[in-house]
Amino acid sequence: MTFTLEQLAKTSGGQLVGDPSLRITGAASLAEATPGEISFFANPKYIGLLRKTRASAVFVPLHFADTLDVAQIRVSNPTKAFEQIVLKFAPKPITFAPGIHPTAVVDPSAQLGERVSIQPHAVIEAGVTIGDDTIIGAGSYVGHETIIGSSCLIYPRVTIRERSRIGSRVIIHSGAVIGADGFGFEMVDGRQQKIQQLGIVQIDDDVEIGANTTIDRARFGRTWIQQGVKIDNLVQIAHNVVIGKDSVIVAQTGISGSTRVGQRVMMGGQVGIVGHLEIGDGTAIGAQSGISKSTQGGAWFGSPAVPLAEAKQQIAWVHRLGKLFARVKEIEKKLRL
């Protein structure tokens, strides 16, 4: 498939700087693009890659003023404009026909909406309700009395335990486990005794959950993932945790029980949060940080985490210790003389 730059500029609503008849045959990143392809520039730290790119054209911000050898399409959001064009060059999306595969096991009491697709070897237990246009991937398990909304995509080999509540347009990737027991035990007569986990998991609309992520059911009440939350692969969310709207949680993060995370919070990879804390709206937590006390917004980093400015100062001090030790030794030598 081939498009002219003029066509791409019209599609994206952008301002073209360059030859409108130039033909574009593909899309790639700045580093990987070759002649005939279009790329995008949205972050100033990649200006070096922009100057070296072999792309024939680049989406740039509206007020981009640098001189380039390649054609430009100036748009308000280069990232989204590029995404639109990538979709034009991408293969057609894979679709699943509505219906129940002969190898799937669907309890007669399950209520399936219109155009639901149940793929091979999926298991749908008694009392389940599934909304219109939802896809249940091959080998997935949906437990008793679970409710799943419309237009959800449940990839192969997802486990959704009993009585979970899942909204509409939710995406859950392979290997995720929703509603496993929370980790609750108590020492009784010198032995660890299990505390029954009787609550549920509630996942609101427009949430995406990555591969091999686990979200535990509540001890009582609910573990609650609110609307628009995006969770990466290999994340552990413990019982009774609440994640506020539009928060982003990156791979290998672990959140201990009963912690409440506010709205629009961002957590880098391998963040660890102890239980029963409050993470304020808009908090940003750097990768590999350990959170041991509640926060009220702002950027945090380190283990135990502190406000980012303080963390930077501490790191600078540590890096200067070698020079400080050398100076102390010199002073000691002079004092001995």
* Selection from 164, 117, 124, 116 nearest residue 140 by Cα: 124
- Which pLDDT does position 337 carry in this prediction? 63
* Selection from 281, 206, 270, 211 nearest residue 243 by Cα: 281
In whole angstroms, what is the distance from residue 6 CA to residue 15 CA? Answer: 9
Delineate the domains of the chain, giving CATH numbers in brackets.
3-89 (3.40.1390.10), 99-308 (2.160.10.10)
* Selection from 130, 94, 96 nearest residue 114 by Cα: 130
H or E segment to which residue 160 belongs: strand 159-160
And the tokens for 248? 């982003």
- Which pLDDT does position 67 carry in this prediction? 86
And the tokens for 209? 């959950």
pLDDT tens, per residue, the chain with 337 residues:
899 999 999 999 999 999 999 999 999 999 999 999 999 999 999 999 999 999 999 999 999 988 888 999 999 999 999 999 999 998 888 999 999 999 999 999 999 999 999 999 999 999 999 999 999 999 999 999 999 999 999 999 999 999 999 999 999 999 999 999 999 999 999 999 999 999 999 999 999 999 999 999 999 999 999 999 999 999 999 999 999 999 999 999 999 999 999 999 999 999 999 999 999 999 999 999 999 999 999 999 999 999 999 999 999 999 999 999 999 999 998 888 6
Q: Is 53 helix (H, G, I), strand (E, B) or coil?
A: coil
H or E segment to which residue 307 belongs: strand 305-307
R_g over Cα of the chain: 26
* Under 8 Å between Cβ of 297 and 281: yes
Positions annotated as catalytic residues are 239
Distances 310 to 36, 299, 314 between C-alpha atoms, Å: 48, 10, 6
Tallying the residues shown for the chain, one arrives at: 337
